[in-house]
Amino acid sequence: MTATVPGTPHRAWDFEAVSITGQSVPLSTYQGKVALIVNTASECGLTPQYKGLQALQERFADQGFVVLGFPCNQFGSQEPGSNEQIAQFCETSFGVSFPMFARIDVNGDSAHPLFKWLKSEQPGMLGIEAIKWNFSKFLVGREGQVIERYAPTTSPESLIADIERAVVA
């Protein structure tokens, strides 16, 4: 865990994001829940993970769990649509009912502050912070702390035990 600079966010719930429909959402809305924060894409080989993410949402929602989807077009231009198109695709193709946010960058100078923070809290392999591809996942506890970071190829189904531990903690 990195040292916290006074005045800088130190929990996921300290950030704001824009919903896929254009409203500013303080992530403190989700305080007290366990969240799986995922950068997503509609035209990726991993896009079928939406089905597994929705299944996690349905299975654990009543235990205070939520999936938060953040579309990103930084990897192979696999999320080229407008926010409206992305929302429609997710709903019609996978029945996504979990909160989706406006398309963002997750790497580089223009990366969303939430993702800059997530990466600094839980670097990937060999301490590399950069997100490698679509469907990277961060499990966040009820207090807004990062519990774990998962690779894009880690299936949503394989997270069940970790989520079960987090929701009872």
Catalytic residues: 44
CA distances 75 to 46, 83, 122, 131, 132, Å, are 12, 17, 20, 10, 8
Place of tokens 């769990």: 65
CA distances 61 to 13, 36, 134, Å, are 18, 12, 23
The dihedrals phi and psi of 92, each to the nearest 5 degrees, come to -80, -35
